[in-house]
Amino acid sequence: MVNRSDVHYFGAGPAPLPTAVLERAAQVLLNYKDKGIGLCEISHRSPDANEILADAKHALSTLLDIPDDYEVLFLQSGGSGEFSATVYNLVAIWVEKKRAAIAGEVGDNQEEVLKRMHKAVDEELKLDYLVSGSWSLKASQEATRLVGAKHVNVALDARKSNGGKFGVIPPEDQWSLTPRASGGGPALVYYCDNETVDGVEFPAFPHALEGDDAPLVCCDMSSNFISRKVDVRKYAVIFGGAQKNIGNTGIAIVILRKSLLPPHSTPASPDLLRALNLPVGPIVLDYPTIAKNNSLYNTLPIFDVWVAGQVMSGLVNAYGAKRIGGQEEVSNDKARLIYDTLDKYSHVYRVVPDKAVRSRMNICFRVHGGDADKEKAFLAGAEKKGLLGLKGHRSVGGIRASNYNAVSMDGAKALVAYLEDYAKSS
């Protein structure tokens, strides 16, 4: 029998979880708070469920120093569901702001308002996407599916600067962002902070998205959530699936600027959206509805929230005043150790992305130039050493070592030892 302590798992998601959290989870699944029933069996509207939600929110807010004018939501859509939710919600806000401005000019003439709204949507509605990898590409494709290609501006397609493949982030002066004119600009700008498949991570918040007239920035942090400091105020929406650094599969977390919620912002009515041939989103992805109901509009998987809360509370307790900065130091140290070894044996290993944008979370590389048989042998040798989950994504192949928070320093060192041994014997 293989014990949990005998292996180190580098899978990209679902990812490893802290053993201590899993041990507590096993207990509460059977008997939560000595109530005689398990956590999966309690009502999502019970005081216990509300306490679990409050604890998870508090832990995340503490780690990332989330300002009071931001809301934390829990949804069941996963990161991919948020590709849709951001479009539904922010386009509806853009439309209503435009309608209010036009109504202020023409008064109660609804026919004229609708006529000018059609023109405004046709000529002005844009959603900007920075496509730096497979997930941001999927996000842009979903936006295109929902609102049509004419409204989606791919301001950056990194493949054009890298021979048709992802692996770089071109300089910002090469991006074609929608101009931010007075009263204008895109309904949103989306980017993926860390590309799980391609091993590309933005080293910092893009300068091009800053300023007094900054657009509504939606950032997908699914695979580097709670791994480094984040200036939350720079973002309108931060979202991510929990199954990388935060918890198990089943929930998405959204950090949302409260100014985008009623009474500060009002989305366009479904009737107006339909009249303009724009999509009306499902109620379970409607941010105002989810916020109004404390993430409990529908039956939320409270066990999944509990796991996420336990993971985040563990980091709060471990790093104290350093908050997420403590985990950032560990994440950086592990990544540096692995990359230094790969670079040391560059005749054997080739790191896929450019050095300036190497992900700290998903370390993608090829063995002997991508020789299929040698990479298969590399993976087989790793498994014999208890190093699991190293196979690259099916769409790109190669090797991928996911360096999530639950991967210990000992795990990183074990991988480095294997990299050394393999390189010396090749």
pLDDT in tens, the chain (426 residues): 889 999 999 999 999 999 999 999 999 999 999 999 999 999 999 999 999 999 999 999 999 999 999 999 999 989 999 999 999 999 999 999 999 999 999 998 999 999 999 999 999 999 999 999 999 999 999 999 999 999 999 999 999 999 999 999 999 999 999 998 766 799 999 999 999 999 999 999 999 999 888 899 999 999 999 999 999 999 999 999 999 999 999 999 999 999 999 999 999 999 999 999 999 999 999 999 999 999 999 999 999 999 999 999 999 999 999 999 999 999 999 999 999 999 999 999 999 999 999 999 999 999 999 999 999 999 999 999 999 999 999 999 999 999 999 999 999 999 999 999 999 998
Return the structure tokens found at 266: 């009002």
What's the topology of domain 57-304? Aspartate Aminotransferase; domain 2 (3.40.640)
Phi-psi category of residue 103: left, alpha or beta, with phi > 0 → left and psi -120 to 50 → alpha: alpha
As a whole number of angstroms, the distance between CA 240 and CA 74 comes to 10
Query: So where are the chain's domains?
Result: 57-304, 324-425
How far is the CA of 351 from the CAs of 198, 202, 393, 425, in angstroms?
11, 17, 15, 19
pTM as predicted: 0.97
**Structure tokens that stand for 220 in this block:** 């997908």
Distance CA 93, CA 261 (A): 9
Q: How far is CA 161 from CA 111, 132, 167, 208, in A?
A: 47, 11, 9, 19
Q: CA-to-CA distance for 180 and 61, rounded, in angstroms?
A: 31
Task: For domain 324-425, say whether CATH 3.90.1150.10 is its number.
Answer: yes
Alpha-carbon distance 307 to 246, whole Å? Answer: 8
Quote the CA–CA distance of 347 and 368 in Å, as a whole number. 7
Give me the helix-helix angle, 409-425 and 324-344, nearest 10°: 0
Strand-pairing partners, residue 192, are 220
Q: Which residue matches tokens 């989103």?
A: 281
C-alpha distance from residue 385 to each of 373, 381, 418 (Å): 19, 7, 8
Please tell me what DSSP assigns to residue 17. -
What is the gyration radius of the CA atoms in the chain, in angstroms?
23
The answer for residues whose C-beta is within 8 angstroms of residue 33's C-beta and 6 or more apart is 48
C-alpha 160/C-alpha 149 separation (Å) is 19
- Containing 275, the helix (H) or strand (E) segment is helix 270-275
- 391 pairs with which residues across the strands? 399
| Cβ–Cβ < 8 Å for 128, 215 | yes
